[in-house]
Amino acid sequence: MANESDLNSTFPAVHDTQWTSSFVLFIKATIMGTIIIASIFGNLLVIVSVMRHRKLRIITNYYVISLALADMLVAMFAMTFNASVQIFGKWLFGYYMCDVWNSLDVYFSTASILHLCCISVDRYYAIVKPLKYTLNMTKKVVALMILNTWLSPAVISFLPIFMGWYTTEENLVFRANNPDDCEFIVNKPYAVISSSISFWIPCSIMIFMYLAIFREANKQEKDMYNRHGAALLLHQNNTNGDMLSNSGGSSKTLTLHEINQDLHHTPTRERNISKMKREHKAARTLGIIMGTFILCWLPFFLWYDIVSLCTICEKNCPPQVVAIVFWIGYFNSTLNPLIYAYFNRDFREAFKNTLQCAFCSLCRRPPSNLDFIDNRRPSIRYEDRTRSIYSETYLKHVDRRSSDFGSSL
């Protein structure tokens, strides 16, 4: 009897444990699947929107398109394999594909980070050195920079991983005996070199660039407001002089007033101020992107270097912590399109227009071969439109003949 009661008390506990683990697995799969889908479609929306809207086809957005492509590939080739390991608890694709996954993960993540570094350099020249921007940031230079961001990550990804230089001898032997295990264990030299190229050096460059950008942006805004305040004061003094003068003001006062109006209402000045405000707003948006990037990737690279340089820390690190820092870094690829949509009005309008066109094209009935769709009169058939044009032409001809006949009388 005692044994039966023990079994009856054990089965509900086992059932509850299985139900809890299944629920946690479902929540985990839902979160990871949502991040992957949002990253793919969000970055695809960025690419399509820039290609469809001429207003977004500026030099800076060449980097943005390339960044969106890198983030989308991170979701497709890095997040998906990692999600399979987290869901099934083991590696399902064999020894060779483990090296492929690790290489693609390092490659696309580094490419995404290097794109952000290039964007910060582009904004630095646009705001801090605007006179040199058009001379230095030509389409050829931008193409070379983008090409470099795609080629340089291969130095720390495919070559050292496929050659086995990235890890220890013990891990190579362990992987050969356990093909279902695909942990990315690195040696100390590779950890220092790869983390420096992938994060620490680009992050230092971005911080330096954006500090210079914000200092220059604040300086330009203060100068603009000071000039505007001085112009208002001058205009006020001139107005008071006009009111005190009985003859309507001296010729010198009128001349100053006209010069003041000319200086502050010329199209060139308004264009320059509008361009400066647009550049500053873009810099703030990209500064938010950079801050988000640091918050997302800093935990991962801190863990990466600490675990690689400290053997005791590696043994005491829970696998849940490893999964969390990985997916926080991956989440950066999902956040970039959301930042564009929220903080940049041009991107927000382009996103809305692209989504409306996509949904309308899915819901709209395709036109038949008998209908002629005109942009100005979409509801008029071709025959009716031709008949109306013929009728209008005939009536004009009759009116002209009747007027000629009346004049002859």
Mean pLDDT computed over every residue of the chain: 77
Q: What is the pLDDT of residue 379?
A: 43
Tokens, residue 317? 């690190």
Tokens, residue 99? 């090296």
**pLDDT tens digits, one per residue of 268-299:** 555 555 666 666 666 677 678 778 888 999 99
Amino acid, res. 58: I
CA–CA separation, 174 and 144 (whole Å)? 41
State the helix-helix crossing angle for 319-343 and 94-127, rounded to 10 degrees.
40
State the helix-helix crossing angle for 80-88 and 319-343, rounded to 10 degrees.
140
CA–CA separation, 115 and 135 (whole Å)? 21
Sorted by where each begins, the domain ranges of the chain are 2-343
Q: What is the pLDDT of residue 233?
A: 59
Which of 34-38, 286-290, 395-399, 404-408 is predicted most confidently? 34-38
Residue 137 has pLDDT above 80, yes or no: yes
Are 213 and 123 in contact by the 8 Å Cβ rule? The answer is yes
Residue 319 or 270, more confident = 319
Residue 370 has pLDDT above 50, yes or no: no
CA–CA separation, 308 and 302 (whole Å)? 10
Average pLDDT rounded to a whole number, residues 339-349: 80
CA–CA separation, 119 and 353 (whole Å)? 25
> Which parts of 53-79 fold into alpha helices (H)?
59-74
2-343 fold:
Rhopdopsin 7-helix transmembrane proteins (1.20.1070)
